[in-house]
Amino acid sequence: MDGGQREMLERLLVRLDNPAAVLDSSLNCVFSNRPDMLPADTSLEKFIQDEIRFPLAKIARTMLVMGGMTYCARICPLDEELALCELFDSSAVISMAEYTDIRERITPLFNAVEHNTARLWKTLFAMRDCIANNEDVSGFEVKFYDRISDLSSVTKNVFEYSMMLTHCSPAMIDAVSLTDGIVNRCNTILAKCGRCIRFVCECDRLFITADMRHAITALVNSIQNALLFSPRDCVPVLSLVRRAEDGKRFVYLQLVNESVLFVNKGFGENDIDFGYQRVGFGIPIIKRFAEETGGSFFLDAEGKTVKLGIKLPESDASAARGLRVEEYGYTYYDTGIPDIIDVKMNEVVSFFT
């Protein structure tokens, strides 16, 4: 870096209101706009939570913990030996998020929580009136079960989505084993209402690099959406295939179902029961999973057929580079507490019985 380049970068850093520094290939600070916090020659390697290797092919995002504070670090390559590192604390991230579509992604989830909470209170008040009038309240047991099930489902989604926004622990996952295990467990629960999911895959193994918990959350939401948007006699088909595009290999997960928006509950043309997430409250979760895994999400409708798809980069299990490999994909442990599969599939059972 010559004197002219350094002067230009120093002028740039002075204009930034967040901590920023120019780093060398060893992650040592060359200079910064906050010498009190990031003095020259300070190594950031021990503070950065992920492995950063030079030369950087693209912008790297990671977590940096320093001085009791946690920052989002965005490291942008300047050349093969230098990079610009910007640090953002939670207040800065929230401020920037206000100018994005974050409200559009989160608001439907909180609306669903509010709506289902109101339905629970309404049922409670109705039972109170029956008790006051010495009327039979035996029928409220099923109503309370349904209300609590719906509320549990949407609050679970809110929690899992917040986890997606704040935490990611990638591992090498066998998508075939994971999907097969989840579908089998879902079908065991769905047998109570006569519904099921069909899983089709011609490959023995397809590896992806993803957060296991996030993968399960996205897959279960995809299955639930397909079931709630289809009539009782429809069997949604979930398929996994490998495709090559521009010399790269991808794993395509696709769910196809016959779509009928108003079924079973006696809906009128303008009467949608929001308690059952029937307007796609799981979609932001599925989309977020695709994005964080370096893939893409699509939702297409042709006539009465709906296709939901997730395209994810395929990973080479022999080149895991330190990532843990989830050999068996999905394992169920009965802890006595309903997990996300219990919650989501029992909501489907409640809807169709």
pLDDT at 159 over 70: yes
Strand 305-313, strand 20-24: pairing:
unpaired
Strand 69-77, strand 20-24: pairing:
unpaired
**Are both 3-96 and 103-351 of the same fold?**
no
Per-residue pLDDT reduced to its tens digit, 340-353: 899 899 888 988 88
Per-residue pLDDT reduced to its tens digit, 76-114: 999 888 999 999 988 888 788 777 777 777 777 788 888
pLDDT at 57 over 50: yes
Q: Average of pLDDT values for 264-278? A: 40
Of 3.40.50.11540, 3.40.47.10, 3.30.2090.10, 3.30.450.20, which CATH number belongs to 3-96?
3.30.450.20
With CA atoms as reference, report the closest residue to 209 among 245, 173, 185, 250. 173
Q: Give the pLDDT score at 345.
A: 92
- Which CATH number is 103-351 given? 3.30.565.10
pTM: 0.70
Rounded Cα gap, residues 136 and 208, in angstroms = 55
Read off the DSSP letter of residue 28.
B
Q: Give the pLDDT score at 52.
A: 84
Give domain limits for the chain.
Answer: 3-96, 103-351
Report residue 8: phi and psi, to 5°: -65, -45
The reply to whether omega before 35 is within 30° of 0 (cis) is no
Rounded Cα gap, residues 297 and 290, in angstroms = 6
- Cβ contacts of residue 203 below 8 Å, gap of 6+? 176, 240, 241, 242
Which residue is associated with the tokens 């600070």?
29
- At 170, list the tokens: 């990638």
Identify the band that residue 301 occupies on the pLDDT scale cut at 50, 70 and 90.
confident
Per the prediction, the chain carries an average pLDDT of 83
Which residue is associated with the tokens 């595009």?
245
The answer to whether 187 and 180 have CB atoms below 8 angstroms apart is no
